[in-house]
């Protein structure tokens, strides 16, 4: 795959400087770039490294003196990561996926759209519907009655359960699980954990009570909007009697847990190891950093930012930036934290002043 610098500038909607006929075959960090590479030098701190590599063309920051850096041509990237999104898309090799592999096991009642690829040893269940142009990669499973919109990309080993529906352009990374059963159990009479929650820690242990956990089954499936992405080994559980929902354009990272009955809005990001207990609601455009945990039945508003590691134990209003365990407004948290760091010395001084 190769492109002229002119073609790249056009694909990026960006300004071209110098020789637009230069051909590049890949992208590289400035110091490691070969002659055929487009160097990625979107901020001044890369200027020096450019001299160590052999690139003749680069993505550069707006007022870069590209000629002084020894380049023959440059593309201006005022917002570097956005340029990266477009550039990496250009250079991404599609998986060589074409047609239906004879080893795939497809139920005769499944509806397979036009141009769909089904990889080796994939399984598609009864009544499933796969939208046109989708790619179901090796050893993935699509459960009975699942419905995927057009252009889905389901990677190797991903499991889409029965009763899962998705809009267009779903991406599911390897070994993710969508539509497993919710974690929802109940004892005959109130359990220790129920009384402990109700009475803030003063739970009573009833030794005569039957400790058997009865299973609440998950009949509600999962409903995903358009342009949703689910990370590797992430899990999205089915709802109880209505679907667990994830809105349009929301992206979910690896190893994230979305509990049964959750409703996640549009254009959210949930980073690695985020865990949502059952029945959590999250508004549009909220961003949950890595390892954030949210307790069951809580509501997080729109445009909320939860920094990595926050544990959320109460509802969060829209627009808040929160941190800590338990999560509070970030300035409250930082203030408490600073005070705590000063505390040992203050206590020592206090002890001294008393003696």
Q: Which is nearer to a copy of itself, 6 or 187 (CB)?
A: 187
Q: CB of 168: closest distance to a copy of itself in angstroms?
A: 14
Q: Which is nearer to a copy of itself, 63 or 96 (CB)?
A: 96
Q: Which is nearer to a copy of itself, 68 or 344 (CB)?
A: 344
Residue 51 token pair: 């001299």
Interface size with a copy of itself, residues (CB under 8 A): 134
18 binds a copy of itself (CB under 8 A): no
Q: CB of 299: closest distance to a copy of itself in angstroms?
A: 15
Number of H helices, E strands in the chain: 5, 39
Question: Do 106 and 112 meet the contact criterion of CB atoms below 8 Å apart?
Answer: yes
Contact range with a copy of itself by CB under 8 A, out of 15-23, 44-52, 55-63, 198-206: 198-206
Residue written as tokens 């006929």? 21
211 binds a copy of itself (CB under 8 A): yes
138: left (phi over 0), alpha (psi -120 to 50) or beta: beta
267 is catalytic: no
130-169 residues near a copy of itself, rule: CB under 8 A = 138-139, 141, 143-144, 155-157, 159, 161-162
Question: Do 58 and 43 meet the contact criterion of CB atoms below 8 Å apart?
Answer: no
**Residue from 49, 100, 121, 129 binding a copy of itself (CB under 8 A):** 121
Burial of 179 per CB tally in 10 Å (0-12, 13-18, 19+): buried
Q: Which is nearer to a copy of itself, 68 or 340 (CB)?
A: 340
41-70 residues near a copy of itself, rule: CB under 8 A = none
d(CA 27, CA 92): 11
**Residue from 63, 81, 114, 208 binding a copy of itself (CB under 8 A):** 81
Q: CB of 140: closest distance to a copy of itself in angstroms?
A: 9
226 binds a copy of itself (CB under 8 A): no
The one catalytic residue among 101, 214, 217, 260 = 260
Question: What stretches of the chain show up as alpha helix (H) in DSSP?
Answer: 5-12, 47-52, 80-91, 192-198, 330-354
Question: What stretches of 130-191 show up as alpha helix (H) in DSSP?
Answer: none
Shortest CA distance to 168 belongs to which of 225, 117, 247? Answer: 225
Q: Which is nearer to a copy of itself, 63 or 102 (CB)?
A: 102
Q: Which is nearer to a copy of itself, 16 or 279 (CB)?
A: 279
117 binds a copy of itself (CB under 8 A): no
d(CA 55, CA 48): 13
Q: CB of 108: closest distance to a copy of itself in angstroms?
A: 13
34 binds a copy of itself (CB under 8 A): no
Contact range with a copy of itself by CB under 8 A, out of 3-11, 15-23, 49-57, 238-246: 238-246
259: left (phi over 0), alpha (psi -120 to 50) or beta: beta
Residue written as tokens 């358009």? 226
Question: What stretches of 92-150 show up as alpha helix (H) in DSSP?
Answer: none
Q: CB of 206: closest distance to a copy of itself in angstroms?
A: 10
Bridge partners, residue 177, by sequence: 159, 235
Helix (H, G, I), strand (E, B) or coil at 321: strand
Q: Which is nearer to a copy of itself, 69 or 164 (CB)?
A: 164
d(CA 141, CA 17): 48
95-114 residues near a copy of itself, rule: CB under 8 A = 95-96, 101, 103, 105
| ∠ Cα 85 91 93 (to 5°) | 120
**Residue from 148, 168, 222, 266 binding a copy of itself (CB under 8 A):** 266
With both helix axes pointing from N to C terminus, report the angle between 80-91 and 5-12 in degrees, rounded to the nearest 10.
Answer: 120
Bridge partners, residue 136, by sequence: 118, 154
126 binds a copy of itself (CB under 8 A): yes
d(CA 341, CA 276): 31
219 binds a copy of itself (CB under 8 A): yes
**Residue from 35, 313, 314, 315 binding a copy of itself (CB under 8 A):** 313
Q: Which residues are catalytic?
A: 260
């Amino acid at each position: 795959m190769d492109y002229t610098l002119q073609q790249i500038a056009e694909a990026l909607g960006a300004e071209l400087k110098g020789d637009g006929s230069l051909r590049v075959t890949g992208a590289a960090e400035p110091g490691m770039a070969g002659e055929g590479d487009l160097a990625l030098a979107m901020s001044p701190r890369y200027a020096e490294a450019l001299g160590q590599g052999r690139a003749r063309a680069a993505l550069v920051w707006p007022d870069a003196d590209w000629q002084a850096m020894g380049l023959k041509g440059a593309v201006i990237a005022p917002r570097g990561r956005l340029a990266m999104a477009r550039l990496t898309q250009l250079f991404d090799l599609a998986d060589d996926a074409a047609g239906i592999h004879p080893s795939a096991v497809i139920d005769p009642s499944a509806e397979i759209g036009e141009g769909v690829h089904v990889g080796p040893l994939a399984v598609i269940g009864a009544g499933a519907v796969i939208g046109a142009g989708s790619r179901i990669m090796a050893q993935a499973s699509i459960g009975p009655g699942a419905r995927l919109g057009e252009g889905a990309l389901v990677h190797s080993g991903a499991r889409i359960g029965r009763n899962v529906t998705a809009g267009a352009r779903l991406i599911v990374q390897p070994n993710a699980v969508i539509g497993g059963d919710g974690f929802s159990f109940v004892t005959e009479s109130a359990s220790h954990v129920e009384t402990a929650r109700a009475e803030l820690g003063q739970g009573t242990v009833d030794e005569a009570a039957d400790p058997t956990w009865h299973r609440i089954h998950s009949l509600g499936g999962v409903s995903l909007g358009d342009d949703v992405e689910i990370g590797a080994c992430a899990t999205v559980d089915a709802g109880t009697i209505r679907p667990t929902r994830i809105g349009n354009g929301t992206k979910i990272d690896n190893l994230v847990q979305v509990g049964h009955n959750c409703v996640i809005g549009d254009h959210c990001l949930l980073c690695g190891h985020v865990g949502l207990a059952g029945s959590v609601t999250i508004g549009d455009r909220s961003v949950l950093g890595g390892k954030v945990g949210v307790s069951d039945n809580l509501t997080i508003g729109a445009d909320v930012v939860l920094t990595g590691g926050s544990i959320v134990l109460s509802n969060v209003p829209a627009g808040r930036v929160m941190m800590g365990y338990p999560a509070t407004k970030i300035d409250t948290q930082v203030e408490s934290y600073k005070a705590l760091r000063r505390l040992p010395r203050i206590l020592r001084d206090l002890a001294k002043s008393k003696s």
